[in-house]
Amino acid sequence: MPRPHDVVFPRRRERSEDRRKEGQHRKLLDEFFDHPALLAVSRLVNRGLFDSIDYPISTGKEGGVFRATAGAEFRAVKIYRIGNSVFRHLPPYALEALRRESSVKNFGGLIFAWTRREHTILGRLADAGVRAPHPYGHFRNVLVMEFIGSPEGMAAPRIVDIPIEDPAALYEDLVLQVGRMARDARLVHGDLSPYNVLLHDGRVVLIDVAQAVSADHPEARRLMERDIRNFSKFFGRLGFEVEPADFLEAVGGKTIGPPPAEA
């Protein structure tokens, strides 16, 4: 059985730029891979979900996503930080729902529940045919997902970070995926923006879905309208004008929100 440290940024045989890379790796080890996180990673390795963690794809205040090797393939490993920073900007309705779902009050337990929630939502999206990372498993604050990128291991970019050659095609694909999420998965993303949509092989992939709410939630319509307005502005900056009302109708806006009260 490998030691926990041996599966995180394994020591490379080639020595070029090793000092700089090892310094960066040490900083990330200190930030993300404390002893409990290393034990969680080791547990998932022992389950056969991946072999080793290679390097970070993205990091932020709430956590980080790392590329991992799994045999001849790659996986994405998301690690949430343990602490209240994850929930500092979480909307009250999402935190309330999480507390209700998990029946725990301490930050550690809530983060474990948040990780489990993202795994569950990704599974619902997969069942509905929504293009999002497939979930492979989770333990404590570590989530293992499908790696979205090239066979050579290059991660797919966010749409905000690249030139968009065909905004109309991007819009049509986004409408399809968001519509499936609302109609078939009965979920509203709740934080959809160009920062959490990837472009892979010319098609959009939705990510960062842990805060999604049921399409019947009292806040669902407001959240969807906010997401639509944000994306309409994004398309406008690309020179492709989209009316928010048309966008909302295209993704099934009439099906979003609590059912009308009976007379």
154 is a domain residue: no
Q: What percent of the chain has pLDDT over 70?
A: 81
* Averaged pLDDT score across all residues of the chain: 86
Q: Which of 51, 161, 166, 191 is catalytic?
A: 191
| Residue 209 banded pLDDT, cuts 50, 70, 90 | very high
Mean pLDDT of 40-58: 94
In total, how many domains does the chain have?
Answer: 2
Which of 208, 216, 227, 246 is the catalytic position? 208
56 found inside a domain: yes
Q: Is 208 a catalytic residue?
A: yes
Contacts of residues 220-225 at CB distance under 8 Å and 24 or more positions apart, as own/partner, are 220/188, 220/256, 220/257, 220/258, 221/253, 221/256, 221/257, 223/188, 223/189, 223/190, 224/182, 224/188, 224/248, 224/251, 224/253, 224/256, 225/253
Domain end position, chosen among 86, 120, 146: 146
Banded model confidence at residue 84, pLDDT cuts 50, 70, 90 = low
In angstroms, rounded to a whole number, what is the distance separating the alpha carbons of residues 180 and 218?
A: 20
> Is a pLDDT exceeding 70 seen at residue 15?
no
* Same domain assignment for residues 83 and 189: no
Cα–Cα distance for residue pair 28/64, rounded to 1 Å: 9
Mean pLDDT calculated for residue range 24-39: 75
Instruction: Assign residue 54 the CATH number of its domain.
Output: 3.30.200.20
Which of 146, 170, 185 is the C-terminal boundary of a domain?
Answer: 146
Q: Are residues 8 and 134 in the same domain?
A: yes
Give the C-alpha separation, 253 to 153, whole Å: 37
For 161-168, what is the mean pLDDT? Answer: 95
Q: Which residues contact 222 (CB under 8 A, 6 or more apart)?
A: none
pLDDT at position 34: 81
If asked whether residues 172 and 48 sit together in one domain, one would say no
Q: From 118, 146, 174, give the residue that closes a domain.
A: 146
DSSP label of 138: E
In a domain, 261, yes or no: no
What's the rounded mean pLDDT across residues 137-164?
A: 96
Residue 14: inside a domain, yes or no? Answer: yes
Whether 80 and 141 map to the same domain: the answer is yes
Radius of gyration of the chain (CA): 19
14 shares a domain with 98: yes
- What value does the mean pLDDT take over residues 80-84? 76
Same domain, 238 and 116: no
**Can you tell me the distance from the alpha carbon of 186 to that of 116, in angstroms, rounded to the nearest whole number?**
19
Beta bridge partners of 149: 155
pLDDT at 32 over 50: yes
**138 and 17 share one domain:** yes
Looking at residue 86, its pLDDT comes to 61
Which residue range(s) make up the domain with 221?
Answer: 159-255
**Dihedrals φ, ψ of 158, to 5°?**
-75, 150
Q: What is the CATH number of the domain that holds 231?
A: 1.10.510.10
Query: 34-47, pLDDT tens digit by residue?
Result: 888 899 999 999 99
Looking at per-residue pLDDT, the higher value among 61 and 138 belongs to: 138
177 in a structural domain: yes
Per-residue pLDDT, 30 = 67
Q: What is the pTM of this model?
A: 0.85
The pLDDT-based confidence of 259 (bands split at 50, 70, 90) is low
Average pLDDT (110-125) is 92
Q: Could you tell me if residue 263 is inside a domain?
A: no
Mean pLDDT for the stretch of residues 82-102: 69
pLDDT of residue 263: 40
- Residue 227 a catalytic site member: no
Give the lowest-confidence range in 3-7, 137-141, 241-245.
Answer: 3-7
Q: Is residue 10 part of a domain?
A: yes
Flag whether 153 is in a domain: no
Q: Which two tokens stand for residue 8?
A: 């995180």
The residue with greater pLDDT, 172 or 12, is 172
Residue 245 and residue 121 share a domain: no
For residue 14, name the pLDDT band (cuts at 50, 70, 90).
very low
Co-location of 91 and 192 in the same domain? no
- Of 60, 48, 54, 46, nearest to 74 by C-alpha is 54
What value does the mean pLDDT take over residues 16-30?
Answer: 59
Same domain, yes or no: 15 and 134 = yes
Q: Which of the four pLDDT bands, split at 50, 70 and 90, describes residue 254?
A: confident
- C-alpha 257/C-alpha 182 separation (Å) is 10
Same domain for 177 and 87: no
Question: Which region, left, alpha or beta, applies to residue 9 given φ > 0 means left and ψ of -120 to 50 means alpha?
Answer: left
135: its two tokens: 């979930």
Pick the range with the lowest mean pLDDT from 3-17, 29-43, 44-58, 123-137.
Answer: 3-17
Among 91-105, 186-200, 219-233, the range scoring the smallest mean pLDDT is 91-105
Residues 242 and 142 grouped into a single domain? no
